[in-house]
Structure 1
Amino acid sequence: MASWGDVRRLALALPETTEREGEQPEWCVRGKGFVWDRPLRRADLAALGAAAPDGPVLGAWVADLGVKDALIADDPAVFFTTPHFDGFRAVLVRLDAIAAAELAEIVEGAWLARAPKRLAAAYLEVR
């Protein structure tokens, strides 16, 4: 089971990441958010019905809609979406259901999806 502390540690370990604090924290690379706390809203709860998780939800950018669809298809107990995110390159993650290693991959992938190309390339060269 992952926690917001895990998200914070993983995100801030990536180059040029900052944290925007507030009601819902968000982690950004050069001002572009890549992972964030995404509580479900009334419309989300109505759309999900009984399948709506009651634990913490992480929003995460993905490289493309194909990646999003694959994550949801491969592990719907962890990954999901709502109509609000239709056509949007982001996936929702049940934070209390994701394994630590998989969370690390999601956070890094989200960072790579939003980081400037040169910064991402430099990171990939040395990791």
Structure 2
Amino acid sequence: MGSVDDVRKVALSLPRTTEHLIRDRVKFRVGRIVYLALSQDEKTLGFAFPKEERDALVTTEPERFFLPRTSDLRYHWVCAHLDKLDADELRDIVVDAWRMVVPKRVYAQWHQGAS
């Protein structure tokens, strides 16, 4: 079961990530680009995810993943119920979302050091 503390621990360990409180929601970003956002009740996590893959993810695991509200469908974004994710899966989600917003060389340097 994933937690806000798990999200924070992984996200803040990634280069260039900063945490912000925006409209009573915790968000993690690189520069001005948000790649993770917790709901106000901290039960759901929105995260950067390839648009072309999100329908398949939501269709195959609707009990865990769901689409963002209609006004946010234009973004590369999907949402998950935090309590339905285990720690390893949550880590992968956070790292993959971060990878979408950092320069390739930043990811390569981090990945080389993490291996």
TM-score (norm 2): 0.84
Q: Secondary structure in 2 aligned to 1:21?
A: strand
Q: Distance in 1 between matches of 2:30 and 2:89?
A: 20
After TM superposition, what 4+ stretches of structure 1 lie above 4 angstroms from structure 2? Answer: none
* 2:96 is the counterpart of 1:95: no
Amino acid at match of 2:87: A
- 1:63-111 CA distances to partner (integer Å, 9 max, x unpaired)? x212322321231111101323323210011112112111111100100
* 2:59 is the counterpart of 1:70: no
State the Cα RMSD in Å: 1.9
Q: Larger helix proportion, structure 1 or 2?
A: 1
State the identity %: 32
**Structure 1: where are the runs of 5+ without partners?**
40-53
- 2:19·2:28 contact (CA, 8 Å) conserved in 1? yes
Q: Report the CA distance shift for 1:13/1:55 in structure 2 as closer, same or farther (over 3 A).
A: closer
TM-score (norm 1): 0.77
- 2:4·2:42 contact (CA, 8 Å) conserved in 1? no
Q: Report the CA distance shift for 1:122/1:65 in structure 2 as closer, same or farther (over 3 A).
A: same
**Residue matched to 2:112:** 125
Match runs of 1:106-125 below 5 Å: 106-125=93-112
Amino acid at match of 2:27: E
| Higher gyration radius (CA) | 1
- 1:97-127 CA distances to partner (integer Å, 9 max, x unpaired)? 1121111111001000111222122223333
